[in-house]
Amino acid sequence: MEAVNASQLVFRIGVPFENAWLPRMTQLAPAAKVIDLRDGLILRQVDLPPRRDATCRRRARSAHLAGTATGHAHGRPYPR
């Protein structure tokens, strides 16, 4: 946080965590100038894939541990 306190510039690029952090950063460094690098850009909507539910995560983990998803089996050393 000391680095934030000493900041003279804050660059905003549009990542989601900025919405939570930017107010805190400007509070810690009130003299810092915020430069929004998105100004003048036409932003496009990003469609994120649906989140996998717990069943999908369990299947993926089982496949990984069985070695069918990655080509190796746990408990066996990697070939040299």
Number of H helices, E strands in the chain: 3, 2
Closest CA to 18 of 30, 6, 5, 35: 35
Strand pairing partners for 35? Answer: 11
Contact 32, 6 (CB under 8 A): no
Domain layout of the chain by residue ranges:
1-40
At 12, give phi and psi (nearest 5°).
Answer: -100, 125
pLDDT tens across the length of the chain (80 residues): 667 777 888 899 888 888 888 888 888 888 889 999 999 988 787 776 766 666 777 777 777 666 655 555 555 555 55
- Residue showing tokens 């965590």: 17
**pTM tops 0.85:** no
